[in-house]
Amino acid sequence: MAKPHTPHGGGGHGDGGHPRPHGEGDGEGDGGTPSGRRRSTPDVPESVSRAQETVAAEARQGRPPGEGGQQNPKPGDTEGKGTDSTTPDADSPQAFIDNIIRDPKSVAGRSPEEIAQQFNDAGYPATVQQSTKKGTSGNAVQVRIQGHPEITNIQVHPGGGRHTPDGSPYWKISTSTAGKIWVIPEDFRGAGDLNGNVVRYDE
């Protein structure tokens, strides 16, 4: 007796006889995306992105320049510039010397030794000498300065003589650019006869 005919493909291949779809399950982790095709993504140029960040940074009011790397320091801003080593400290000897001609009153109240020390500390050799000029009281003390581009000598007079009474000092600054500058008190006698610029330190 003949055996029943088994249809061709009835489980002979172990996969149900259905061909495996192309790309299914072998997309190398891309979720089954068919081979040869790329998932589309929005294409935003980097220049546009940077421009948007710049606009957003400029819109933030009150933000110090330089934060986030988007803003450049404005003229006059000191933040981010660093310390300027050529600018003397306000209390330094160099600052004191630089201010003498602009503000001659700054020497008032300073002794010859103190003035000389300021110049020496700033790199301008200065020596203190008692005045020996004939016809004067002999009380004046000269501070002789070397190497400074403008100031050559500062005379310190403690008072007592033909110009001022005892205890009423005055100063005479000799320069190569502005001539002589007298820094005198109100009780100075003969101020109208002085040669040079006259500044009253007690006004």
Q: Give per-residue pLDDT as tens, 61-103.
A: 445 444 444 455 444 444 444 445 556 677 899 999 999 999 9
> Residue 81 falls within a domain, yes or no?
no
Report yes or no on 100 lying in a domain.
Answer: yes
Count structural domains, the chain.
1
What is the widest separation between alpha-carbon atoms in the chain?
163
For 118-177, how does the pLDDT look when each residue is reduced to its tens digit (9 = 90+)? 999 999 999 999 987 765 667 899 999 999 999 999 999 999 888 999 999 999 999 999
Range of the domain at 140: 93-200
Contact 182, 194 (CB under 8 A): yes
* Residue 71 near residue 58 (C-beta atoms within 8 A): yes
Q: Is residue 72 part of a domain?
A: no
pTM given for the model? 0.56
Q: Is residue 151 part of a domain?
A: yes
The amino acid sitting at 45 is: P
User: Does 62 reside within a domain?
Assistant: no
Residue 36 lies in a domain: no
- Please report the pLDDT score of residue 91 as a whole number: 83
Query: Under DSSP, is residue 121 helix (H, G, I), strand (E, B) or coil?
Result: helix
